[in-house]
Amino acid sequence: MLGASVMAAISADLLFSSPHPAIGWQLYDLYAQALVRGGFDLPAMDLRYEGHFAPDGTGYLYYGLGPLLTRIPFLVFFDMPTTWISPFSIWFWAVVGNTCFHRTFWLGLAHGAGGAGNISGRASASLAVAVWFASPGLIVVAGGAVYHEPIAMAYALGGGFVLLIAMASFGRITIERAIVPLAVLAGLAVHARPHLAIGYYLAVCLIALLLVRRGGMMRWKRAVIAIALLGLFGGILLAANQLRFGNAATMHGSFAQSELQYSSVFWGLEDSDGPRARAFVEHGRFNLSRIPANTMIYTLTPPSSLGVDSGIAAIERLHGRMIAPTDYVSIHEPKVGLLYLWPAWMVLMLIGLASSSMRRMPALAGLAGITVSSVLLLSYPTITLRYHTDLWPIVALGAVFGLASLAGKLRHGQRMQPIVAALMAVLMLVGLVVTVHKTMHAKLMNLDPGDEWTSDFCLELAAKKGFDEARGREICGI
């Protein structure tokens, strides 16, 4: 309750308040309103830099439809946009995610300790503090921008996914009972963070294959239902793309001239031959050659704004030499590596990955799927704090088995308990301090660079694109 309350205070701007509104904070509210009217498009004055535009000037919000779920209960009662549904939505998903991860780690601790009755009050309280104040939850609620909503939703779905894998692995439920809810979570992830969904889909398919190999009508039915659900959610995505963009295969815009373009390039506010655009066009959105360099940044970068800028600069120079000469990876503030952000969890992850439990189903299927999701993120040409959240499932999945393994070893080697407890407490404290610092830093980064988007500015851009005044007003929403 304390953790959820602190997160609510951060999300509501009562703690670590930001002097600026978040980018596109109202866009999902406007999107819900547009869908009620029967349309998918939004005015350029609302979309600004977050829109992707068709050649005729029609603008679309390309982010997933999933976060609209938190608007559905309020559509009847409120005339959107509101000033609070976006913060509530992000808070809601973050709290659901933290709750799932808390339960997951509790199961791991209980499994290793030989039962919940063997967990001391101090260990239970330490675990609660670590989950709620030294994991991604605070960072998730620190961002109020439009792109934080699908990330927050994916955080909750990842929590549920890892929890079900852990429950099945520790014998709390059978794999047969786990596969259908796993498929639902994977399907919902398609409408939040599709690259994460790819890995979750793979995990569900591997578990379905296991059930089919084991045989039996009930297992076959569960496997078929799970695969059908994956197809259903995927089909909904394709149908939504067809309705939005006129092409089921179109997921987002591009920097090149195409049926859908990034706002900045479409309106001539970013050079279509600039380093970022060229990196996307020549090297793609996902490129395996970026993985070693990006992994180094995500793992080793010291926390920014703490007087270690020379160390950060040295790592980034090395990163630049590791990627292709014409490639470009943008690295955004706030900067921090996982070893500083979640040091104790990273130690537990390494212990877990080395344990024999991770090499058995369904943990192995979960690990395979989540690894694929992580690889896709590490091959993307943008590195920013909010993307660290997408890497959390692989850290958490390894850490839960690491916690179980460590607790089991300490149960039989009690002399080491004080030393290990002190070491883990220090690491958790470091993670807590860095997490709070980066939460404050992220909150200060909440700013809307769209102040120049006045009516005159929008009409001027429309005129430069060759639209007449009447069409310009329609595109801008004036």
pLDDT at 252: 76
Domain containing 92: what range? Answer: 2-26+81-251+288-326+329-447
pLDDT at 451: 66
Is residue 339 in some structural domain? yes
The answer, yes or no, to whether residue 334 has pLDDT greater than 70, is yes
Is residue 62 in some structural domain? no
Number of domains in the chain: 1
Is residue 9 in some structural domain? yes
Cis previous bond, 362, omega within 30: yes
The answer, yes or no, to whether residue 113 has pLDDT greater than 80, is yes
Query: How would you write 440-461 as a 3-class SS string?
Result: HHHHHCCCCHHHHCCHHHHHHH
What mean pLDDT do residues 293-313 have?
92
Is residue 54 in some structural domain? no
pLDDT tens digits for 3-14? 999 999 999 888
pLDDT tens digits for 55-82? 888 998 888 899 999 998 888 787 777 7
What mean pLDDT do residues 100-105 have?
97
Is residue 52 in some structural domain? no
The confidence band for 450, taking pLDDT boundaries of 50, 70 and 90, is low
pLDDT tens digits for 221-275? 999 999 999 999 999 999 988 888 878 887 777 776 767 888 888 888 887 777 8
Residue with tokens 């040409």: 381
pLDDT tens digits for 388-414? 999 999 999 999 999 999 888 887 766
Is residue 474 in some structural domain? no
Going from the C-alpha of 87 to that of each of 12, 45, 50, 181, 441, the distances in angstroms are 6, 22, 18, 27, 18
The answer, yes or no, to whether residue 449 has pLDDT greater than 60, is no
Q: Classify each residue of 171-198 as buried b or exposed e, where b means 16 or more C-beta atoms within 10 Å of its C-beta.
A: eeeebbebbbbbbbbbbbbbbbbbbbbb
Average pLDDT of every residue of the chain: 90
The confidence band for 420, taking pLDDT boundaries of 50, 70 and 90, is confident
The answer, yes or no, to whether residue 286 has pLDDT greater than 60, is yes
Is residue 161 in some structural domain? yes
The answer, yes or no, to whether residue 349 has pLDDT greater than 90, is yes
Is residue 93 in some structural domain? yes
**Weakest mean pLDDT among 39-43, 201-205, 246-250, 367-371:** 246-250
